[in-house]
Amino acid sequence: MTGWIAVAGLGPGDDALVTPEVTAALDQATDVIGYIPYVARVAPRPGLVLHPSDNRVELDRARHALDLAAAGRRVVIVSSGDPGVFAMASALFEALEAAGADPDIRILPGITAMLAAAARAGAPLGHDFCAINLSDNLKPFALVEHRLRHAARGDFAMAFYNPRSRSRPEGFARVLEILREECEPGRLLIFARAVSTPDEALQIVTLADAHPAMADMRTVVLVGNSATRRVGRWVYTPRSAGVA
């Protein structure tokens, strides 16, 4: 049997947001690898081996997948959202570089948290935007600050992933401070928590009213650009800027 690896995005939570392509790969898999809560979203069945693992072992997971595929297994590595957004796809290629192997690999996209959150709010990412991972696990916090400041000066709308954890609650307070230095107090922020799950909660506030406790690790934070505005209960960013 020829082995393969699919790195699949499970979307933000709701099964209706899993693509048919991902469902088909899971149906054909012999093995599913991933962080415990994501593997828990895959229904067990005879012939399918589930390999849940703790967080922060991305490279071990990727090597494991390469070994299993070399032995002829059909492996799906699961991520939440999209596997290319702060997730397992890059880890697999990093392991591949080190291993020098050439297995059959597919990356199957999913709906990433910022897009699911933006859709709930309206169209806050309707003009140029960027995504920043606020976690300092894999980069120094000084780099987060640098990118954040430049994105704000470039008047990008922004999406923040991994905004706040128990181990570094002060990081997100610093992020709000920097935004207050660079943006006007009326700038709109959206705190979107657990989008498309039963725990979903959306808060739309101005920068002046934003508070660090509004974010946790299940929250993606969207920041509008200087033109982002409300219409009724919606928030949107106009598609044009600086055009007469």
Under the rule (CB under 6 A), what is the footprint of ligand SAH? Answer: 12-13, 79-82, 85-87, 112-113, 117, 161-163, 192-197, 217-220
How near is the Cβ of 46 to ligand SAH at its closest, in Å? 29
Which residue, 143 or 217, is less far from ligand SAH as judged by CB?
A: 217
How near is the Cβ of 237 to ligand SAH at its closest, in Å? 19
How near is the Cβ of 9 to ligand SAH at its closest, in Å? 6
Taking a C-beta distance cutoff of 8 angstroms, is the pair 35, 52 a contact? yes
Report the residue closest to ligand SAH, judged by CB: 81
d(CA 187, CA 156) in angstroms, rounded, equals: 12
- Give the burial class of 61: count Cβ atoms within 10 A of its Cβ; 0-12 exposed, 13-18 middle, 19 or more buried: buried
How near is the Cβ of 82 to ligand SAH at its closest, in Å? 4
How near is the Cβ of 87 to ligand SAH at its closest, in Å? 4
Taking a C-beta distance cutoff of 8 angstroms, is the pair 214, 202 a contact? no
Which residue, 30 or 84, is less far from ligand SAH as judged by CB?
A: 84
